[in-house]
């Protein structure tokens, strides 16, 4: 008699084992951390085995857990691959869905997307803007652009854009003063902060920029914080303060003069933008066309020296 397999618990456990954490698995699956924990507990009770080592805020699979996680990954991966192949055969006229962060979509992707439409008029692209990691098994997404360190286990990952950091402001702010000739002059200005979510590593903050530049960040007149990077860019364009420019997000505003660099010097961020998709997704000519276009657009744009 075949066992009545607890598929939801198996899939939840695989996510925890792959991402090495209950919180990350909860984000990926779009459920609460409590629900993830309960599914794993139920699976361990059903099997009569401990599947995860827990302690010190870290999670890792036991020997039995690693074996089970690999089997679940392979099994669900095969189902996903077959379904994707069948959709590809039966729906050649479907468009593409690209997932990315709102700030990246607004500042970099949207101004360029018309060129893809002109090159591929029969291949419409829909943009899914979301801060959470896309779950390719559940969501109708073909390709994602993620921001971080590039550690997306179980997926195909390739770097799209590196990130360079430098202060930026509007020409009007620079003209009306106070002076802004060197980093010490930031003391006379409002600093615009981007509240970046904790995704590991050292985020591209004003403090990170100062440390990497070998300077002491002066205390500003005022600090304004924003929850989205596109709001930081727009605030800088409107002259509300000085922002820490993240090159992919401010390159167009620098090119057309809406933003300027008050002084020289750049810092390389630890983070980058990555193309992410299931390993077999690039078998699709549609997905490859979008991937190749993204790389071509990056190659076309200049770099901040």
Average pLDDT over residues 6-10: 84
Average pLDDT over residues 183-212: 90
Q: What percent of the chain has pLDDT over 90?
A: 51
Delimit the domains of the chain by residue range: 7-89, 102-305
Listed residue (241, 258, 8, 6) closest to 249, CA to CA: 258
Q: What is the pLDDT of residues 253-297, one digit of tens each?
A: 999 999 999 998 899 999 999 999 998 899 999 999 999 999 999
Average pLDDT over residues 40-57: 85
- For 74, 134, 160, 215, 241, the CA distances from 267, given in Å and listed in that order, are 41, 29, 18, 12, 20
Q: Do domains 7-89 and 102-305 have the same CATH topology?
A: no
pLDDT at 88 over 60: no
Amino acid 1: pLDDT = 40
Amino acid 92: pLDDT = 52
Average pLDDT over residues 87-104: 74
Most confident of 55-59, 91-95, 224-228, 274-278: 274-278
Q: What is the largest CA-CA distance in the chain?
A: 80
Question: What is the C-alpha radius of gyration for the chain, rounded to an integer number of angstroms?
Answer: 23
- Look at 8-12, 80-84, 210-214 and tell me which has the smallest mean pLDDT: 80-84
How many Cβ atoms sit within 10 Å of the Cβ of residue 122? 8
Kindly provide the b/e burial profile for residues 217-251, where b requires at least 16 CB atoms within 10 angstroms of the residue's own CB: beebeeeeebeebbbbbbbbbebbbbbbbbbbbbb
pLDDT at 2 over 50: no
Place of tokens 């069948």: 86
Amino acid 85: pLDDT = 60
The single-letter DSSP state of residue 106 is I
pLDDT at 30 over 80: no
- Which tokens go with 1? 């008699």
- For 36, 198, 235, 243, the CA distances from 28, given in Å and listed in that order, are 11, 15, 31, 31
For residues 271 and 146, give the distance between their C-alpha atoms in angstroms, rounded to a whole number: 10
Domain 102-305 coded CATH 3.40.50.300? no
Average pLDDT over residues 36-59: 85
For residues 255 and 198, give the distance between their C-alpha atoms in angstroms, rounded to a whole number: 30
How many Cβ atoms sit within 10 Å of the Cβ of residue 86? 10
Termini Cα distance of the chain: 67
Q: 0.75 exceeded by the pTM?
A: no
The CATH code belonging to domain 7-89 is 1.10.10.10
């Amino acid at each position: 008699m075949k066992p009545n397999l607890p598929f939801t618990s198996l899939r939840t456990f695989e996510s925890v084992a792959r991402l090495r954490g209950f919180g990350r698995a909860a984000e990926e699956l779009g459920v609460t951390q409590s629900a993830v924990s309960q599914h794993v507990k139920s699976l361990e009770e059903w099997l009569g085995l401990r599947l995860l080592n827990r302690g010190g805020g870290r999670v890792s699979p036991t020997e039995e857990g690693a074996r089970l996680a690999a089997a679940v990954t392979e099994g669900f991966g095969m189902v996903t691959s077959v379904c994707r192949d069948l959709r590809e055969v039966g729906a050649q006229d479907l468009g593409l869905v690209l997932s990315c962060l709102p700030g990246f979509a607004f500042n970099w992707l949207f101004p360029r997307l018309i060129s893809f439409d002109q090159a591929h008029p029969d291949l419409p692209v829909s943009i899914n803007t979301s801060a959470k990691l896309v779950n390719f098994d559940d969501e109708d997404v073909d390709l994602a652009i993620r921001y971080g360190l590039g550690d997306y286990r179980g997926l195909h990952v390739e770097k799209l854009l590196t990130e360079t950091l430098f202060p930026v402001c509007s020409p009007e702010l620079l003209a009306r003063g106070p002076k802004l000739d060197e980093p010490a002059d930031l003391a006379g200005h409002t600093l615009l902060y981007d509240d970046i979510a904790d995704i590991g590593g050292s985020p591209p903050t004003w403090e990170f920029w100062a440390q990497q530049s070998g300077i002491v960040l002066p205390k500003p007149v005022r600090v304004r914080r924003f929850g989205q990077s596109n709001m930081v860019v727009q605030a800088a364009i409107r002259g509300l303060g000085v922002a820490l420019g993240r090159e992919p997000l401010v390159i167009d505003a620098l090119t057309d003069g809406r933003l300027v660099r008050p002084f020289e010097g750049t810092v390389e961020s630890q983070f980058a933008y990555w193309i992410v998709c299931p390993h077999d997704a690039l078998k699709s000519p549609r997905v490859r066309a979008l991937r190749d276009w993204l790389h071509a657009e990056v190659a076309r744009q200049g770099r901040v020296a």
